[in-house]
Amino acid sequence: MDIAFAMYPGMTVLDLTGPHEILAHHPEAAVHYLAATPGPVRCDSGMEVTATGTFGDVPSPDVIVVPGSSQWRRALEEQRELVAWLALAHPSASWTTSVCTGSTLLAKAGILSGRTATTHWGVRDVLGGLGAEVSTERVVVDGDVITAAGVSAGIDMGLVLAARLWGENTARAIQLFVEYAPEPPFDSGNPETAPPEMLDQVARLLPRSEGSVPSTGP
């Protein structure tokens, strides 16, 4: 089973490593780390990860995972090769997935037109402008597409995907293996539960979503 993790400069590392940790250890998983060019890829936090191949090296993966980025607007403008690959690879994939603002790249590739999808709460309006029906759920499954909300939701998405690939018992075993039983010290993990003043503070740190939205299609 070919699982392709799409990589690009400015991506958020946990968007990649969260679902990767859930999926990559399964014996059926043949994992590919793809970018426009092989080599180091610098994430938005400064960490570097390594792409071992190009998008063209795996034209028809079984599973596609697209991480998001705090620099999502730049990604929408610059990641033309990734968007073009998504448009070509998605029709033959069993599952196409995204984490956080990675859903905007799926939408740019025309994959989310008429579908329900989720994303980071700060760019829900942008995702809607790109043709998706926006949900506030943490993980959304619509046909052969699975989208996750912000950053840490990629772990949840990985478990949902693992259950569909290998069965619920296997997904539960993976959850136990990674000891994923979150007990956050605060109840500020989404805009519905965070105090209004905290929401305003974080919203000011996010890239502005106003303005023109790039058209869909590669």
100 flagged as catalytic: yes
Taking the CB of residue 179, how many other CB atoms lie within 10 A of it?
A: 7
**Bridge pairing between strands 95-99 and 48-51:** unpaired
Given 6, 100, 105, 213, the catalytic residue: 100
CB contact at 8 A, 100 and 149: yes
Residue 56 CB-half CA count within 13 A: 4
**Bridge pairing between strands 116-117 and 95-99:** unpaired
Residues in the chain: 218
- Active-site residue numbers? 100
